Amino acid sequence: MSAEITAVASRRAERRGMSEQDALSAPDAATLRKVMGHFCTGVAVIAAHDGDRPLGFACQSVVSVSLDPPYISFCPAKTSTSWPLLREAGSLCINILAHDQKDVCSTFAVSGGDKFAQVDWSPAGNGAPALGGALARIEATVELEHDAGDHTIVLARITDLTADAEGRPLLFFKGGFGGFSE
């Protein structure tokens, strides 16, 4: 094995908390991204209000965890500048985007700026921003977080929710946005 491959494996092992041998056999990030691109997901904006301003970020890793008691999960990147601020607020509104909200997703997918200046929103029952036109809104309170590589797994207890029965979701598939026809 070349010194360069050994060095890469050593750095990867250290980042992932695994042996060099396991790091050598683990799939690389580009392959994982390509394979997981075959799994279609919905798109949401996770939002909170810190008392001074609304905060939010786009997220594709939203998962229903438990019906009784009601829990939901999502996974912000550790590089997120928004998540630490939302975490402090505690109360969230998870806005499930409708098929015609690609621009809303793009607005919340970037760091910085006043993202809410470009969208219609109002306070949800818990004070977190509920986006106009969202297909569904899930109010939740952060219960716990778990370190997971380059992301954090967040578990939140659902406190209230609403849905638009007539809408269709914005979908993300193979690096692009779209919808489906019925």
* Structure confidence at residue 70 (pLDDT): 98
* Structure confidence at residue 111 (pLDDT): 86
CA 88, CA 133: separation in Å to the nearest integer? Answer: 26
Q: Decide: residue 138, CB within 10 A, 0-12 exposed, 13-18 middle, 19+ buried.
A: buried
Q: What angle do CA 42, 161, 59 make, to 5 degrees?
A: 30
Q: Which two tokens stand for residue 20?
A: 């060099």
Tell me the CATH number at 151: 2.30.110.10
- Identify the domain containing residue 22 by its residue range: 1-39
Percentage, residues of the chain above pLDDT 90: 55
In this structure, the answer to whether residues 71 and 34 fall within a common structural domain is no
In this structure, the answer to whether residues 47 and 79 fall within a common structural domain is yes
In this structure, the answer to whether residues 113 and 25 fall within a common structural domain is no
CA 109, CA 96: separation in Å to the nearest integer? Answer: 14
In this structure, the answer to whether residues 47 and 29 fall within a common structural domain is no
In this structure, the answer to whether residues 67 and 153 fall within a common structural domain is yes
Distances (CA, A) of 93 to 38, 67, 89, 106: 28, 18, 11, 18
In this structure, the answer to whether residues 22 and 44 fall within a common structural domain is no
Flag whether pLDDT at 21 surpasses 70.
no
Q: How confident is residue 174, by pLDDT bands cut at 50, 70 and 90?
A: confident
